A and B are shown apart, each in its own frame.
Chain A
């Protein structure tokens, strides 16, 4: 479960988030939307522990992110998957290595890492691309590698920042189907997007941010 209490974040004189109170239940599928600069990415980065808030606090499964030690934050991140708009893949590593990297940090046995990575690549439909380098893949395939890396460790929360921002409508549908299947397995999914197409007819809760403020919370 994710809980935000009076959360505020400022960059120099610009207020990115202003007094946000929010609660996302375990296993929910949530869209965070709003125009560019509304604070969607900041919110996700705060949930991921990549930033510290000026005010307020964040609880993830009752763990206070604002007071957590650096080493405990590293361990918590193993339970949170993050998908970036620009994929953040390592071009000099193969698809397999890009996904396996998320498991190597846990110190699991190599055999188990191989098995789990192959299973995940199969899940995202890239089982035949494991030896390929990311730059020779299409945008949709690269995003699927990024999703595979985020879910390979079996996270309880999956955060995605504009995951379909660089993709055409067909690939967007494909990626969204993937997120839905991950959600059906019990993972909490939070997707930040400003795409109206994505939100139309989506049977999920949508949180609207405007100028750093929470201005709408609609359940499907």
Chain B
């Protein structure tokens, strides 16, 4: 394509946008809103995945002991746990420590615990593993072995609820794709209508251009560029708004069940590029549909 043609097309596309500014602003606003919903989903998904990955990296066993456990049996449990390979740390939490932790967590509501006649909380061991260093650790086998030890009341492994969480995350992912697909259809519809209005606005000019010998693509390219420009603007605006929202929430202390602090992450670069490209591609598809359906010369 010759440079002077390119300049003409770009000028013409910008002229189209200027001539139909209100329509374009409205279209852009709706497009950004739709992409923003899509982006928020992406951001939430990225963060939840990030948290789950973080939790997945540390494998934890909570070994609850029976209240009547003898010192000998507790030593056997202790020895078993100390011999586990790849262990990062081992913490013994006595019944009193467990109660103290609970009181601390409950804060002002801790007074409720005074009504208890005794301490119902069991003593326990918390064993932490670094997942990156214990790839070969069979958590199921460890859990079974621990459960068989005398004096052990219950064993909980972090992997169990993590797996449940991952299953929920997969469902969320499917919903995300369905909603994302519907939003894409909406954006294409908006884009098609925006370009359609521009085509109608320039109807007499198109007729004259054909009369003076313009090829179809000479007339079509500015409309296509219009879609690309709108897609680029929508992509940039969406990412900027997402970035602004992220910066706002990143300064807040977000907690999970009032206990675990959640660190926020922004969209990874490849997701940002993906969101931007989706916006541009939707702009192109929208204008192509409009050109195909409403461009009759």
Contact = CB atoms under 8 A, between A and B. Distances in A.
Interface residues of A, number: 24
Interface string A135-169: 00000000000000100010000000000000000
Interface stretch (A16-24, A102-110, A178-186): A102-110
B218 A105 contact: yes
A216 B7 CA distance: 51
Interface in B45-83: none
A88 B208 contact: yes
Interface residues of B, number: 19
B215 A71 contact: yes
27 contacts: A48-B211, A50-B211, A74-B213, A74-B214, A74-B215, A75-B215, A76-B213, A77-B213, A78-B213, A88-B204, A88-B207, A88-B208, A90-B208, A92-B19, A101-B208, A101-B209, A102-B212, A104-B8, A105-B212, A105-B213, A105-B214, A105-B218, A107-B2, A107-B4, A107-B5, A109-B4, A149-B212
B205 interface: yes
A104 to B, nearest CB: 6
B216 interface: yes
A93 B213 CA distance: 19
A105 B204 CA distance: 16
A82 B208 CA distance: 10
A109 B4 CA distance: 7
A140 B205 CA distance: 21
Given A105-B214, A105-B215, 17 more contacts: A50-B211, A70-B216, A71-B216, A75-B213, A75-B215, A76-B213, A77-B210, A77-B211, A77-B212, A78-B212, A82-B211, A90-B208, A101-B209, A102-B213, A104-B8, A105-B212, A107-B4
Contacts of A106: 213
Interface in B1-25: 2, 4-5, 7-8, 19
Nearest to B204: A90
Contact of B212 (A50, A101, A107, A108): A101
Contacts of A88: 204, 207-208, 211
Interface of B: 2, 4-5, 7-8, 19, 204-205, 207-216, 218
Contacts of A105: 209, 212-215, 218
B114 to A, nearest CB: 82
A107 B8 CA distance: 9
A140 to B, nearest CB: 20
Contacts of A108: 4
A92 B18 CA distance: 13
Interface string A27-51: 0000000000000000000001010
Contacts of B209: 101, 105
Contacts of B19: 92
Nearest to A78: B213
Question: Which 7 A/B pairs are nearest by Cβ-Cβ distance?
Answer: A78-B213, A77-B213, A105-B214, A102-B212, A74-B215, A107-B5, A74-B213
Interface string A57-86: 000000000000011001111100010000
Nearest to A152: B212
Contacts of B214: 74, 105
Contacts of B212: 77-78, 101-102, 105, 149, 153
Nearest to A102: B212
Nearest to A79: B213
A92 B20 CA distance: 13
Nearest to A89: B208
A62 to B, nearest CB: 19
A45 to B, nearest CB: 11
Nearest to A81: B212
Contacts of A48: 211
